[in-house]
Amino acid sequence: MYLLWLALILLGVCLIVWGAELFAEHLAVAAVRLRLSAFALALLLAGAEPEELATAVTASLHEVPAIALGDVIGANIAICLVALGIGAVTAPLPFGKGVMPYACAGLPLGIMASYIMWDGAVSRAEGLLLVALYIMFVAVIWTWERKPPALGETEELKEAETKANSPVSKELGLVLLGLLAMVLGSIALVEGVRQITNVEETQTQLSLSVVGFATAFELVVLAWSSARRGAVEVAIAGVVGSFAYNVTMTLGTAAIARPLQIIDARLLHLPLVIMVGCLAISIMLAVPKLVLDRRAGIILLSLYPLAVIAIFLPP
């Protein structure tokens, strides 16, 4: 029976990743065709990782808060250690003025989110605060750089401009198809974990490791492909910026959908410290030369198994 639920989890991951890519690509085109304001589009796409958002909200609505909280934390750990690690091993990743501000902004946001989650609960009011922080994050970066933030799926905007003549009905249909795939994939993923175990501790551990890595997988591929093509700074900014997105928009939206509360908050304490520490280590490794080199990548990758082992230690 466990094999059936594992297969369901795998199916969910595949649907989420495919749907997220379809959603982001065609949302940009549809938005251009519908003449949405640039700021509205940036809020939709800047740093946006809809797979994490869909999974966390689904888990929240299905009253499995351990999966929602674990996914946010686990995905960010995987982003810092695996995505950046694989990218840096493939080719040096620049951490210049196009990347470092996003990484540094993620630290205070990560600390604030950790403070909120420390008691194992995130209320609707706290969720609204986190979403507001995300909007401010985008606005401040835009004001500072005088252009939309170079985060996450905003790269789709360049391609969207070249496809602006595509029928809007077709683009909206593909957006809805991507959204449906993400919703179905999230339901399958959450239900698979829930059927494997109804023990909060085990659900939290699986979410911190398996679910978090699965929803961050697209960023792992993005970091690798970007490094292989020449370590494009904008793509790396998207990877790093997704850390901030997850601790604000993803976590906040999940709490707005249904307040999050786990019984044993101690299950999150060490993972939260690891999450913030992973981003801090990534920044420290990049600071001397403003680049993550192969050595730094090996260090980050070697830390991921240790982080997973630590996640499974009793609180």
The predicted-structure confidence for 7-41, as pLDDT tens digits, reads as follows 777 787 788 777 766 776 666 666 666 555 444 44
Number of neighbours of residue 141 by Cβ within 10 angstroms: 23
Domain, as residue range, for 65: 49-152+198-311
Q: What's the pLDDT tens digit per position in 198-248?
A: 788 988 998 899 888 888 887 787 778 777 766 566 667 777 888 988 999
190 in a structural domain: no
136 in a structural domain: yes
70 in a structural domain: yes
- Return all residues near 136 (Cβ < 8 A) that are at least 6 apart: none
- How wide is the angle at C-alpha 151 spanned by C-alphas 159 and 60, nearest 5°? 110
294 in a structural domain: yes
Q: How many structural domains comprise the chain?
A: 1
207 in a structural domain: yes
65 near 190, Cβ under 8 Å? no
159 in a structural domain: no
Average pLDDT over residues 64-83: 93
Amino acid in position 124:
R
Return the exposure string of 266-295: e unless at least 16 CB atoms fall within 10 Å of the residue's CB, then b: ebbeebbebbbebbbbbbebbeeeebbbee
Q: Write the CATH number for 65.
A: 1.20.1420.30
**Comparing 26-40, 83-97, 152-166, which segment has the lowest mean pLDDT?**
152-166
145 in a structural domain: yes
39 in a structural domain: no
